[in-house]
Amino acid sequence: MSEHIFHGKLIPDSDWYDWRWQFRNRITTVAELTESIDLTEQEKQEITQCLGKFRMAITPYYASLMDPTDRNCPIRMQAVPSNLENRILPCEMADPLNEEGESPVPGIVHRYPDRVLFLVTHQCSMYCRHCTRRRLVGEEDMVISDKEIDTAVEYIRSKEEIRDVLISGGDPLTMSDEKLEHILKKLRSIEHVEIIRIGTRVPVVLPMRITLELTNMLRNYEPIWINTHFNHPKEITKDSMDACARLVDAGIPLGNQSVLLRGINDSTDIMKDLLLKLVKNRIRPYYLYQCDLSQGLGHFRTRVETGIEMIHHLQGYISGYAIPKFVIDAPGGGGKIPVNPEYIISIDDNEVVMRNYKGDLYTYPQPPDIRYEKEFHLNAREVCDENDNLHNP
């Protein structure tokens, strides 16, 4: 095992690999932060100003990945506040996805017909500067009561159309195994709940949380799918890879959701590196999100064309398994909308003209017109010829 130095002290493995030690020793103040990275007096002031709006917490593990001198380090940019967060644009909102508007009971967002989002905690192990739910997440004592959990579970029980429950937050894996198991057990007692998903950033920012006790507990409530949140290849470390392997080995399919972030992962080369590393570790890239319109995130947003171009440069060039769906979560609460490069040049009754990934054109003939076929008792080949004559006299 390698040596771990944190704030000038040698940390024994028994502490470093204890997720509760990591959690207790998170960096939450500017004074602590100066022990890990170089900061100017002005930066210290600016960070202090930001902390009033959205708190900071960085696990010693995640902090160990930060470059102490490089302000553009992708790890540092996701974890350390910037004065740009104080700039709030008129189009930015506290709740850009209208989650409150589609919440029938506290903790539940029911937007789609067959599935719900179940927000079980507001706590995270690391507070991402680009968090969509920064309106909720990170407030000091925001715990969700057992009573609220019960009410949410009863809502799910009362709606037979809900077959998929997505447990999110905050980060559900900041809860104890016991509390999480309590929720899973209740959900599994509902017959119409077919799959349970957990959204968590723990494998990325606190990989030691994925213990054998946790995976053994999760096994009892299968099928469980987990979506994690890697944004940059620098986050793929021996520890994070091992954590993901423990989950997959426990029979949990792993997906990944990334957010496209200016200056962090908005280059095709960085994204390709990340995606290939994920697949190599049995993690299936699921969504690539356009950054939401939450307050103070303007500096992270890229133009929508950046994401479309990125998919254009990946599709066809690397395994389909490595390519996520690029989506915009519609402002105001329309749900996730896939945005893609255009492959269809034209489409009519006769044929579809498409371009492939290299830009070459191909034609696919439409099926024969069934009514026409019945009327004249023609075989399929003749119908094709007839159709050609009909549409291209």
Ligand X SMILES: *Cc1c(COP(=O)(O)O)cnc(C)c1O
| Enzyme catalytic residues | 111-112, 115, 124, 128, 131, 133, 292, 329, 336
Interaction between residue 129 and ligand X (CB under 6 A): no
Interaction between residue 264 and ligand SF4 (CB under 6 A): no
Q: Which of 15, 112, 313, 331 is the binder for ligand X (CB under 6 A)?
A: 112
Secondary structure of the chain as H, E, C letters: CCCEEECCEEECHHHHCCHHHHHHCCECCHHHHCCCCCCCHHHHHHHHHHHCCCCCCECHHHHCCCCCCCCCCHHHHHHCCCHHHHCCCCCCECCCCCCCCCCCCCCEEEEECCEEEEECCCCCCCCCCCCCCCCCCCCCCCCCCHHHHHHHHHHHHHCCCCCEEEEECCCHHHCCHHHHHHHHHHHHCCCCCCEEEEECCHHHHCHHHCCHHHHHHHHCCCCEEEEECCCCHHHCCHHHHHHHHHHHHCCCCEEEEEECCCCCCCCHHHHHHHHHHHHHCCEEEEEEECCCCECCCHHHCCCHHHHHHHHHHHECCECHHHCCEEEEECCCCCCEEECCCCCEEEECCCEEEEECCCCCEEEEECCCCHHHHHHHCCCHHHHHHHHHHHHCC
Interaction between residue 170 and ligand SF4 (CB under 6 A): yes
Interaction between residue 127 and ligand SF4 (CB under 6 A): yes
And the tokens for 215?
A: 């995976």
- Least separation in angstroms between CB 68 and ligand X: 36
Q: Which of 137, 224, 247, 314 is the binder for ligand SF4 (CB under 6 A)?
A: 137
Residue 131 marked ligand-binding: yes
Q: Which of 163, 186, 284, 336 is the binder for ligand X (CB under 6 A)?
A: 336
- Least separation in angstroms between CB 78 and ligand SF4: 8
Binding partner at 166 among ligand X, ligand SF4, none, C-beta below 5 to 8 Å by kind: ligand X
Residue 128 marked ligand-binding: yes
Residue 124 marked ligand-binding: yes
Span near ligand SF4 by CB under 6 A; candidates 101-109, 123-131, 139-147, 319-327: 123-131
Interaction between residue 201 and ligand SF4 (CB under 6 A): yes
Q: Which of 124, 187, 236, 310 is the binder for ligand SF4 (CB under 6 A)?
A: 124
Interaction between residue 117 and ligand X (CB under 6 A): yes
- Least separation in angstroms between CB 342 and ligand SF4: 31
Task: Compare residues 32 and 164 and give the one whose CB is closer to ligand X.
Answer: 164
- Residues 147-186, mask of contacts with ligand X (x by CB under 6 A): -------------------x--------------------
Q: Which residues bind ligand SF4 (CB under 6 A)?
A: 124, 127-128, 131, 133, 137, 169-171, 201
Residues at the annotated binding site for [4Fe-4S] cluster?
Answer: 124, 128, 131
